[in-house]
Amino acid sequence: MMKYKKGKIKGVVVVKLRKFSDYRGVLIETYRTDVLPRGVRPVMSYVSFTKPGVSRGPHEHKYQTDVFAFVGPGVFELHLWDNRENSRTYLNKMVLKAGKGNLATVIVPPGIVHGYKNVSKENGMVLNFPDKLFGGVGKKEKVDEIRHEDKGDDFYIDFVK
């Protein structure tokens, strides 16, 4: 079994978001090109709602960078682990909470295993602005996703607790 160590992960960026409120409602900038890493440009977006206590992942991408925006409702515990053997932060693991009360955009580069769990009592919403099309143009290519649910490694065992 692999042993993970707590620590920052090279290339993972966490941007604290600001919420602007007035009589009309709320506005949150979820991503800006001036804070994205060089070469990362979203090409699509999607919104997912996750029920309380439910996890998504863990998985990683070989080529894709995910740009997740956790803006509420709901609170998520996000687990990340560096699976890039040539990285100086190889096997480092980060765990953070994001969403309602801690608005954040989290940029997850290729080779970082990631998964999140809704730890609140309400449905949680996550926006994603990946830099690759899911399934390629016309959804005719193999999906860039390496699943970790059945690997039984320390990361997954800790993630599902």
- Residue positions counted in the chain: 161
Q: Token pair for residue 150?
A: 């059945």
| β 104-108/46-50 pair status | unpaired
Q: Distances from the Cα of 50 to the Cαs of 18, 34, 55, 117, 124, in angstroms?
A: 23, 29, 8, 8, 5
Above pLDDT 90, what percent of the chain? 79
pLDDT band at 1 (very low <50, low <70, confident <90, very high): low
CA 154, chain centre distance (Å): 19
Q: What is the pLDDT of residue 25?
A: 87
Predicted confidence band of residue 157 (pLDDT cuts 50, 70, 90)? low
Is pLDDT at 156 greater than 80 in this prediction? no
Whether domain 5-160 has CATH 2.60.120.10: the reply is: yes
* Domain-wise residue ranges, the chain: 5-160
Helix (H, G, I), strand (E, B) or coil at 156: helix
- Here the tokens at position 76 are 């998520």
**Contacts of residue 94, Cβ cutoff 8 Å, sequence gap at least 6:** 6, 7, 8, 9, 12, 78, 79, 80, 81
The answer, as to whether pTM is greater than 0.85, is yes
Mean pLDDT value across the chain: 91
Mean pLDDT of 121-147: 93
Q: Which residues, at least 6 apart from 159, have a Cβ–Cβ distance to it below 8 Å?
A: 55, 57, 58, 79, 115, 117
* Per-residue pLDDT reduced to its tens digit, 75-126: 999 999 999 999 999 999 999 999 999 999 999 999 999 999 999 999 999 9
Alpha-carbon distance 117 to 88, whole Å? 27
In whole angstroms, give the CA distance from residue 68 to residue 13: 10
Per-residue pLDDT averaged across 9-13, rounded?
Answer: 95
